[in-house]
Amino acid sequence: MVQQLSTNTFGTAKWIVSATASDGTHTTIASALTSASSGDTIFIRPGTYTENLTLTANVNLTAFVCDSGLQGGSANVTIVGKMTFTGAGSVNITGIELKTNSDFLLAVTGSAASVVNLNDCNLNCTNNTGISYTSSSSSSQINLEYCTGNIGTTGIALYSQSSAGTLSISNAYVTNTGNSTTTFSNSAGAVNIVYSILFSPISTTSTGTMLIKYSEVNTDTTNSTGLTFNGTGVGSAARHNRISSGTASCISIGTGAGASVEFNSINSSNTNAITGAGTLVSGLNNFVTSKLINTTTQTATVTSFTPAISIGGSTTGITYTGQVGYYYQLGSIIYYSLHVVLSSKGAQVGNVAVTGFPVASGANGTNNNVGVTLMQNCTLTASYQTLLLQMNNSATSGLFYQVSSTLALANLTNTQISNTFEFAMNGFYFTN
């Protein structure tokens, strides 16, 4: 029996595209799309196909697994050109390199609930922004999962979104060999990024929102702001990320915009690691280099610091079991919480002080007296009942004082604490 490949009804792959006519049912992807029906999958043999395609709802394009680059190699199937989708339904594109040809490599347009899923694809933006997403449907989606990519020249980006829908990026790795400072931007709808590494700046404008989690944004090479929140939509946030921006601020929040910035590692040599005139809700960020924040409205900017002690002005020989500190600044007020446990007090002699506060107190530091809430392995002088911390004027340290029932003060000295001295407290002080 002779099976005609053009009517490949016996094989698993009903539609096969190959540049060699005898190896497939079609020699172009466009002709295969014309033949295919809803629910079909078109398999594409290795080769480079320079075509502009109109995608068909519920017809999928895929390379065979061995050609997809799934294991970290190069994809053997490349489509050079623009794919356009306007239909109601979904399209899955798997294991294929998509390459710009002086136009977008993917455009999702129109008003239908169009869904495009790119799986294990390489998005090669050589001469144009890769994705144009303008669909007016809030039910439309573009989903990138396990994709790689590169921004190959200046002035272009991975995507430009003005759609009411959602663009999701998961487990992606997109480099920027062209050192482009053009942002991946959305002026409407939502962008969700998770478990990805990106080397280009990202922004929101107009009503766009962005949620980025468990990812890395590294713009050290271009010294450009990694995340810019200028969109006024509700719900933008950056959580559990690593953001590095060279000499530029890592994060900018524009006037009228707001964002939650929490649990991030933020690395910038700029004076202000976070800047802008918007509203910042922040907590438990680790500022690797710069620690300063410049935003008009701050609701809670919580940052870690490392509290320590000195004895007689020296820290020599003092070791710790634990050092935990957090603070946030509202205007000229520093609120802090700390817990310190020693493993050795060393051999220094003199008064005991707490050091390591992140911002210096103001000239009125001696007016900031805060009681210690936990104190162990410490013996106070007779008739003295409690311990307080008094900030030193214009310094990042404060002295411990014993307090009597008559409110008399006496310094706490090295002879009154053991090697396992422990203390914890919550308080505030002024920077002016």
Domain boundaries, the chain: 1-149+162-174+192-199, 201-305, 308-430
C-alpha distances out from residue 387 to 135, 166, 269, 381, 405, Å: 64, 55, 39, 11, 12
In 3D space, the residue among 250, 293, 251 whose CA is nearest the CA of residue 272 turns out to be: 293
* Residue 44 CB partners (closer than 8 Å, separation 6+): 16, 17, 18, 29, 61, 62, 63, 77, 96
Pairing status of strand 173-175 against strand 122-125: unpaired
Q: Provide the token pair at 425.
A: 């407290």
Average pLDDT over residues 158-170: 98
| Residue 114, burial from CB neighbour count under 10 angstroms (0-12, 13-18, 19+) | buried
| Residue 359 to residue 293: CA distance in whole angstroms | 12
pLDDT band at 406 (very low <50, low <70, confident <90, very high): confident
Residue 203 identity: S
- The whole-angstrom separation of Cα 427 and Cα 409 is 19
Distance CA 281, CA 191 (A): 19
C-alpha gyration radius of the chain: 30
Q: Give the number of C-alpha atoms closer than 13 A to the C-alpha of residue 372, restricted to the C-beta side.
A: 26
SS3 235: coil
Instruction: Give the model's pLDDT for residue 373.
Output: 85
Element (H, E) at 262: strand 258-262
Q: Which two tokens stand for residue 81?
A: 């050109």
| Residue 285 and residue 263 in contact, taking contact as beta carbons nearer than 8 Å | yes
pLDDT class of 87 with cuts at 50, 70, 90: very high
At 127, which amino acid appears? Answer: N
Supply the pTM of this predicted model.
0.70
Specify the range with the lowest mean pLDDT, choosing from 73-87, 167-181, 292-306: 292-306
Over residues 40-82, the pLDDT tens digits come to: 999 999 999 999 999 999 999 999 887 776 545 577 999 999 9
What distance in Å separates the CA atoms of residue 260 and residue 246, rounded to the nearest whole number? 22
| C-alpha count within 13 angstroms, C-beta hemisphere, residue 287 | 28
Beta-carbon contacts of residue 42 (< 8 Å; ≥ 6 apart): 15, 16, 17, 29, 32, 33, 36, 59, 60, 61, 62
Q: What is the pLDDT of residues 345-392, one digit of tens each?
A: 999 999 999 999 988 888 765 567 888 988 999 999 998 989 999 988
Per-residue pLDDT band for 182 (boundaries 50, 70, 90) equals very high
Give the tens place of pLDDT for each residue, 313-343.
Answer: 999 999 999 999 988 877 677 888 899 999 9
Residue 2 clears pLDDT 50, i.e. is over it = no
Question: In 3-state terms, the chain is what percent helix, strand and coil (to 5)?
Answer: 5, 50, 45
**What size, in residues, is the chain?**
432
- What token pair was written down for 61? 């394009």
How distant, in Å, are the alpha carbons of 49, 83, 237, 331, 386 from that of 173?
A: 24, 22, 20, 39, 56
Tens digit of pLDDT for each residue in 12-37? Answer: 678 999 999 999 999 999 999 999 99
Domain 1-149+162-174+192-199 sits in which CATH superfamily? Answer: Single-stranded right-handed beta-helix, Pectin lyase-like (2.160.20.10)
Tokens encoding 422: 């422990």
